[in-house]
Structure 1
């Protein structure tokens, strides 16, 4: 998998809208900036308005154009389009292709927040073929952990049926792995159920194959 700002994106390439949500201070922006720019700053600035990042990703020889929406704290997930238009205009939360819900492993409150948010998302929209990953950030502060990793992992993987990864944005630990696993899931949804011949024909039909 790779990211690059120099790839030429064809209009037929897959476009993925990825919403990153979480309580204030959990490190949402830090995770994205590590992935996109390979940088981290100790200076904390609360995300007051949405930020958009546009990396390109290659996974399993398929090129994806990501639109990562780094969202400020939202008190609730919009239950319908009217609420989204009124309170979160332009966020595109209800039609995201995938979600990353981030919590701080030293803060049980931040986990309870994404637990509630997840329930609201499930109640508010059709989540068929819409991956959701739960991310425990600040693994570098594991000694100050506020909630058991095993407890969270069991809940998320066995009951929620979501992907789960712990990472450290500060030390760039498991950040790439997070996006790699997410994109593998998306790629499987897009192509994994198709026989090889059908996949090749689909690529050719959509002009997504470049021969050098």
Structure 2
């Protein structure tokens, strides 16, 4: 089971509409800084030493456009030996941060494989994704031209692209907020589609009626790859 490093908090009793998003951080190559991004976002700390991640989970409550959201963030191993585990989490994830280092062209090239894997597992070409070029503070070591990364984002349906620095906390909040907006928008579009009276619908079964009477459901995590 993931070990939780997220902050603890109390939910406001007046919050009637709460979205619970699962974010997945993804990378095949280790050392791109995805764990440092997560630590800065959740805990406002900079991790100096590199400790290869096997699996960490975090939780953070944020406000996005006036809406309270709980992000459950899964930071997975950036090594090929954990491919099977990563596929399992891809099935659960609602949104994905695809992270590479601007100092490593190979880490960018490997994102195409990750995206194809996500599209195949989710069977959906409109999965919320943000491309993250980390280590922007190491400009003198840049190996990935901005134009190359922007070109990739355009080829992927104009997926948002950010350059971040976990060390300087540059654009750290922005990538998570952008991804959360995408998840909310996709969820809203799905809700409108399901409520369309022109669509044939069956009455709720007993299980659905019980579920509707419960508090907002916990949904899939946000995954960082």
Given the two structures, how large is their TM-score scaled by the length of structure 1?
0.77
- Structure number with the bigger relative contact order (C-alpha 8 A, sep ≥ 6) is 2
Q: 1:168 to 1:89 in 2, by over 3 A?
A: closer
Cα RMSD (Å): 3.0
Contact map agreement 2:90 2:118 (CA 8 A) in 1: no
Structure 2 stretches of 5 or more lacking a match? 1-5, 196-212, 217-225
**2:72 aligned with 1:75:** no
Report the alpha carbon displacement of residue 4 of structure 1 after superposing the two structures with TM: 7.3
Deviations 1:6-52 (A, max 9, x none): 341779632211110112000010000000011102111111x2100
Q: Distance in 2 between matches of 1:12 and 1:59?
A: 12
Q: Distance in 1 between matches of 2:106 and 2:58?
A: 27
Identify which range, 50-59 or 111-120, moves more after superposition. Answer: 111-120
Q: Distance in 2 between matches of 1:76 and 1:123?
A: 20
Q: Which residue of 2 aligns with 1:65?
A: 70
Q: Which residue of 2 aligns with 1:160?
A: 156
Q: How does 1:33-72 map to 2 (within 5 A)?
A: 33-47=39-53, 49-72=54-77
Report the alpha carbon displacement of residue 165 of structure 1 after superposing the two structures with TM: 0.6
Q: 1:89 to 1:171 in 2, by over 3 A?
A: closer
Contact map agreement 1:103 1:135 (CA 8 A) in 2: yes
SS in 1 for 2:137: helix
Q: Which residue of 1 aligns with 2:185?
A: 188
Deviations 1:153-204 (A, max 9, x none): 1221x21021111100011011011112112222322347989xx9xxxxxx
Q: Distance in 1 between matches of 2:127 and 2:87?
A: 20
Q: How many residues align?
A: 188
**2:133 aligned with 1:136:** yes
Given the two structures, how large is their TM-score scaled by the length of structure 2?
0.73
Structure 1 stretches of 5 or more lacking a match? 79-86, 199-204
Q: Distance in 2 between matches of 1:206 and 1:128?
A: 31
